[in-house]
Structure 1
Amino acid sequence: MEKRQIQYQFEDTHLKNSSENFYDPSKLKTEEMVLNLGPHHPSTHGVLRLEVLTDGEYVVELTPHLGYLHRCFEKHAENLNFQQIIPYVDRMDYMAAINSEHAFAMGVEKMMGISEKIPKRVEYIRVLVAELNRLASHFVAIGTYGLDIGATTPFLWMMRDREHILRLLEWISGARMLYNYIWVGGLYYDLPVGFEERCTEFITYFEPKLKELKELVMDNKIFIERTANVGVLPLDLAIDYGTSGPVLRGSGLAHDLRRVDGYSVYPELDFNIPIGEGKMGTVGDCWDRTNVRVEECWESLKIMKQCLAQLTTDHKRDRTFDPQALVPKKIRPKAMDFYSRAENPKGELGFFFRTNGKSDIPERVKARACSFCNLSVLEEISKGVLLSDLIAIIGSIDVVMGEVDR
């Protein structure tokens, strides 16, 4: 009995001393450690490597290492004629291939001086399918963002609804993701018979689903706690780093090239530009950036309805209509330097061309990719955050690595 009491007294003293040493902040020694986050981690979208200097669970410093996909878009483009480049444009932001085609085709048409001659039916079809693809891109952004921070159901819902869009786009082009549908001067083909009715059915189906998504995700208490006041991007910093799209608009600036530049038939359409307002936290946080994408889905539906109304009234289907009437056999612009841009789902996509006036192959092609510029601000807004919050910040930027490594 005496031996047991002595043993218990010794253990109690030992535990007491060890607990005092453990909980005394002055006696804790911290050590910084360098971690490689990715490229295998799902939140780095497969090919982004982040060199993270951590102090415990906190991020002290972060360096993004870009470029693991080796697509070499610009060098490919400098060895092909303009029409042959379009399938390669699809492979930059492969989640929004038609939007990228639209930006590229418009740039070449302006350079050739034929943009004003494009038939209105072609323009309305282009905008209709571009907004369909914008929806599909935002579905992936919102769904995978739910996975990044631990929610499975939004991803399954978004993939279910995205499938309807992919089937529609496959109907017009023959491909599910890489379409080659918008050509310089026109389209690959007119809309199939019955396409307008199917689009209307999709809009009717999806509007209540979008309301459910807002309740499931944006108004969810856990989602708000994971994203509100996290990864705050001040407006001045967003402008300094050249961010665009929902990343910039989430910081409170209503900058949308569909309004600012007024290209195609967008000036004739009625739609709003959602911005971050800090409803759940601070303006420019992860919640705001995600909410902008959800609100833009409503605006895309509004644009699609107006395009469908035009395509079934003033610019109806006509047997004599040829969507390839203005497609040139050979594109040989004058010698010049030219830049054109458009609003992709992720931001401003721009193309710079240099031509010599002798060849149908451009001397120089440079792509201003929105994902590349948006990702550059990650280093600034990730200092001092928890590692778990870093994952939420990466997902809120919505990067596609095909654009980052061109």
Structure 2
Amino acid sequence: MAETLDFNYSDAASREDELVPCEKMHLTMGPSHPATHGVLRLQLEVDGEIVTKCTPVVGYLHRGDDKLAENMTYNQFVPFTDRLDYLAPICNNVAYALTVEKLAGLEVPARCAALRVLTCELSRISSHLLGLGVYAMDTGALTVFLTTYTERERIYSLFEELTGQRLTNSYTRIGGVTRDVPEGWLEKVEKACDCILKGVDEMEGLLSRNKIFLDRTKDIAVITKEAALQQGLTGVNLRCAGVPADIRKDRPYSGYEQYDFDVPVGTVGDCYDRYLLKTEEIRQSVRIVRQVCKTLPDGPIFAQDAKNICLPPKNRVLTGMEDLIQNFMITTHGPQIPAGEAYFEAENPKGALGFFIHSKGEGRPYRLHVRGPSFVTLSILPKLVPGNFVTDIPAILGSLDFVQGECDR
């Protein structure tokens, strides 16, 4: 027979006040999770529904890009920069090329600089459109994603016509760009700008006064000015805290000082502010693109006075012995960059993307380091996430708009 247990309910009731409260729970979010926007892992400590501790774990996408650059020529590394922030590859190309050109003391022609500005701003628009679309989808608004993705595909079709690729464009070379714009392409860009602005207006109509979106973003994950500066944030995540910092204005490059545009700055620093800033930045980028289309100068798209750095035109390679030798030497040994060190930062959609290059006078860098803005952005998560609900995390991550390609490298 089974033994019967004598249980006294009154004793249990008397010990109710002595029960030890439950310990905090540890959760792992990612690295395979749709809201982490890539292979990011968050180690969470939660007390009920409130996050009390957040530790980001990165490195799942590490490919050793910095070290790979030391084993290939300067131009061979350009396609690898596409894979950093793969949502705005041309911006990465340009930032890298400008670093090498700074080291070489090389000045690119005016038409080349203008084409770089044009393609970078189109990339910025494309990146923000996708960032806002998935941000809205993370908060439950699927229709917005369909709207922004449609406009993004419009830009990708323009890139395909210009570069031959939709995503990994590899458009830039040291000292220039790969090809000039095809006939009628600028007119297509102008028409695309009209459609993009209509798409942004539609997105704002769906989100800006939407009760659900406001509840999920207003006063959530506020970044203060002190915290932003202390963590080294850049881009939208710095400007949302009230710091009017934009490298295109503060330290102009590629002729940005010639164009008239504003730098949107936030006042609150919450998730909703970051949404508003990206929306306004799209409008300002359209403003720049239209100015470039109207004022695009004539002339070459490659530096003409750097024979040891820039490839000669293809038609001359096929007809002249000297140009054929120049093409062969640059292709096999790489552009001959003088010995020295250089660091350059460009204002990318995700923030300031920096490259440090140490050269020993060869056709490849002796040392190269990438300063990825997404890596710095993730450093604020331990301060930003605690105190919020677990369900707030998708909105917080979406508003920060990082990409793991340039974080892990």
TM-score, normalised with respect to structure 1: 0.88
Q: Distance in 2 between matches of 1:338 and 1:324?
A: 20
Counterparts in 2 of 1:382 and 1:26: CA distance versus 1, 3 Å = farther
Range that drifts further, 369-378 or 70-79: 70-79
Aligned to 1:107: 99
In structure 1, which of residues 340, 350, 365 is the aligned counterpart of residue 354 of structure 2?
A: 350
In structure 2, which of residues 73, 82, 85 is the aligned counterpart of residue 93 of structure 1?
A: 85
Q: By how many angstroms is 1:243 displaced?
A: 0.6
Counterparts in 2 of 1:143 and 1:108: CA distance versus 1, 3 Å = same
Aligned to 1:228: 218
**3-state SS of paired residue (2:98):** helix
**3-state SS of paired residue (2:232):** coil
In structure 2, which of residues 275, 297, 309 is the aligned counterpart of residue 290 of structure 1?
A: 275
In structure 1, which of residues 51, 58, 61 is the aligned counterpart of residue 53 of structure 2?
A: 61
Counterparts in 2 of 1:25 and 1:102: CA distance versus 1, 3 Å = farther
Q: Residue 290 of structure 2 aligns to which amino acid in structure 1?
A: K
Q: By how many angstroms is 1:89 displaced?
A: 0.5
* 8 Å Cα contact 2:248-2:347 kept in structure 1: yes
Q: Deviations along 1:310-350, whole A, 9 cap, x unmatched?
A: 12xxx24x6xx454645253422222121111000010000
Counterparts in 2 of 1:200 and 1:26: CA distance versus 1, 3 Å = farther
In structure 2, which of residues 173, 180, 186 is the aligned counterpart of residue 190 of structure 1?
A: 180
* 8 Å Cα contact 1:39-1:45 kept in structure 2: no
Q: CA-atom RMSD, angstroms?
A: 2.0
Aligned to 1:374: 377
**3-state SS of paired residue (2:167):** coil
Q: Distance in 2 between matches of 1:25 and 1:65?
A: 40
**3-state SS of paired residue (1:64):** strand
Q: By how many angstroms is 1:70 displaced?
A: 2.3
Q: Distance in 1 between matches of 2:256 and 2:20?
A: 60
* 8 Å Cα contact 1:189-1:323 kept in structure 2: no
Q: Distance in 2 between matches of 1:27 and 1:302?
A: 64
Aligned to 2:166: 176
Runs of 4+ in 1 over 4 A off after TM superposition: 24-28
Q: Distance in 2 between matches of 1:301 and 1:258?
A: 15
* 8 Å Cα contact 2:111-2:301 kept in structure 1: no
Q: Residue 244 of structure 1 aligns to which amino acid in structure 2?
A: T
In structure 1, which of residues 382, 403, 406 is the aligned counterpart of residue 406 of structure 2?
A: 403
* 8 Å Cα contact 2:109-2:301 kept in structure 1: no
Q: Distance in 2 between matches of 1:344 and 1:354?
A: 22
Aligned to 1:9: none
Task: Point out where structure 1 has 5 or more consecutive residues left out of the alignment.
Answer: 1-13, 15-19, 278-282
* 8 Å Cα contact 2:151-2:195 kept in structure 1: no
**3-state SS of paired residue (1:354):** strand
Aligned to 1:10: none
* 8 Å Cα contact 1:190-1:323 kept in structure 2: no
Give the % identical residues.
39
Q: Deviations along 1:160-204, whole A, 9 cap, x unmatched?
A: 110000000011111111011011101100001111110011112
**3-state SS of paired residue (2:346):** strand
Q: Deviations along 1:196-250, whole A, 9 cap, x unmatched?
A: 1100111122222211211211222211111010001101110110110111111
* 8 Å Cα contact 1:188-1:324 kept in structure 2: no
Q: How does 1:1-40 map to 2 (within 5 A)?
A: 29-40=21-32
Aligned to 2:248: 258
Q: Distance in 2 between matches of 1:361 and 1:324?
A: 19
Q: Distance in 2 between matches of 1:25 and 1:145?
A: 45
* 8 Å Cα contact 1:30-1:55 kept in structure 2: no
Q: Distance in 2 between matches of 1:175 and 1:206?
A: 21
Q: Distance in 2 between matches of 1:220 and 1:182?
A: 41
**3-state SS of paired residue (2:43):** strand
TM-score, normalised with respect to structure 2: 0.88
**3-state SS of paired residue (1:341):** strand
Q: By how many angstroms is 1:138 displaced?
A: 0.3
> In the alignment, is residue 124 of structure 1 matched against residue 127 of structure 2?
no
* 8 Å Cα contact 2:109-2:303 kept in structure 1: no
* 8 Å Cα contact 1:189-1:324 kept in structure 2: no
**3-state SS of paired residue (1:388):** helix
Q: Distance in 2 between matches of 1:309 and 1:220?
A: 37
In structure 2, which of residues 395, 398, 409 is the aligned counterpart of residue 392 of structure 1?
A: 395
Q: By how many angstroms is 1:121 displaced?
A: 1.0
In structure 2, which of residues 67, 74, 79 is the aligned counterpart of residue 75 of structure 1?
A: 67
Q: Residue 399 of structure 2 aligns to which amino acid in structure 1?
A: S
> In the alignment, is residue 306 of structure 1 matched against residue 270 of structure 2?
no
Q: Distance in 1 between matches of 2:395 and 2:18?
A: 32
Q: Residue 83 of structure 2 aligns to which amino acid in structure 1?
A: R
Task: Point out where structure 2 has 5 or more consecutive residues left out of the alignment.
Answer: 1-8, 312-329
Q: Distance in 2 between matches of 1:229 and 1:272?
A: 25
* 8 Å Cα contact 1:107-1:340 kept in structure 2: yes
**3-state SS of paired residue (2:153):** helix
Q: How does 1:156-175 map to 2 (within 5 A)?
A: 156-175=146-165
* 8 Å Cα contact 2:40-2:57 kept in structure 1: yes
Q: Residue 378 of structure 1 aligns to which amino acid in structure 2?
A: L
* 8 Å Cα contact 2:88-2:124 kept in structure 1: yes
How many residue pairs end up in the alignment? Answer: 373
